[in-house]
Amino acid sequence: MQDFYQVLGVDKGADQAQIKAAFKKMAMKYHPDRNPGNKFAEETFKTLNEAYHTLSNPQKKLRYDSRFYWVTEENKEFKDLYWEELRRRRYNHWKNAQENQYRFDRNYFKIQGLAFLVFIIIADFALGLFIPHTTMCNVSTALNGMPTANHSSKSMVFSELAVLTMPLP
């Protein structure tokens, strides 16, 4: 990767006006409309354009300069901008982490409802809270529909079923 300051032909302490003037001068020289069919001029113009857009924006320039550890005590303005940008990034990272930590939306309540339903089903099987009643109702419905006239067999099935499904103390 080329040094953008060298591409534009300015020193590292150049201000915005010097960067703009250097870009205009180089852009006129290497513009693709002035050099049709010249691939070198086209690539050079693309590099010039990238260098200008990076160095003309103060925040992008700060990021570019910090990549080369150019922020020193002599250039206090850029050093302050660097630390300000770093603090802003850290704060935004912290803020996003706080916002994404707890969110009570529709999916939260769906998951909580499903968890409660699973808990009820497991408790139902483990403790026998609702199953004996439903089993007794289903068996009595099935026995009432039986074509047999033997009433004692029905009561015997109910008594055995009651003993089997009775909750433990």
| Spatial separation of the C-alpha atoms in residues 14 and 54, rounded to whole Å | 13
Length of the chain (residues): 169
Taking only the tens place, the pLDDT of each residue in 46-104 is 999 999 999 998 888 888 887 765 545 566 666 677 778 888 988 988 888 877 666 77
Alpha-helical (H) ranges within 31-130 are 39-56, 58-67, 76-101, 106-127
Full set of structural domains in the chain with CATH: 1-56 (1.10.287.110), 106-165 (no CATH)
Report how far residue 37's alpha carbon sits from residue 29's, in angstroms, rounded to the nearest whole number.
14
Structure tokens at 40: 């070198």
Contacts 24+ apart (CB under 8 A), 17-24: 19/52, 19/55, 19/56, 20/52, 20/56, 23/48, 23/51, 23/52, 23/56
pTM value is: 0.42
Radius of gyration (C-alpha) of the chain in whole angstroms: 40
Given a cut of 50, is residue 120 above it in pLDDT?
yes
Q: pLDDT of 5-32, one tens digit each?
A: 888 999 888 889 999 999 999 999 999 8
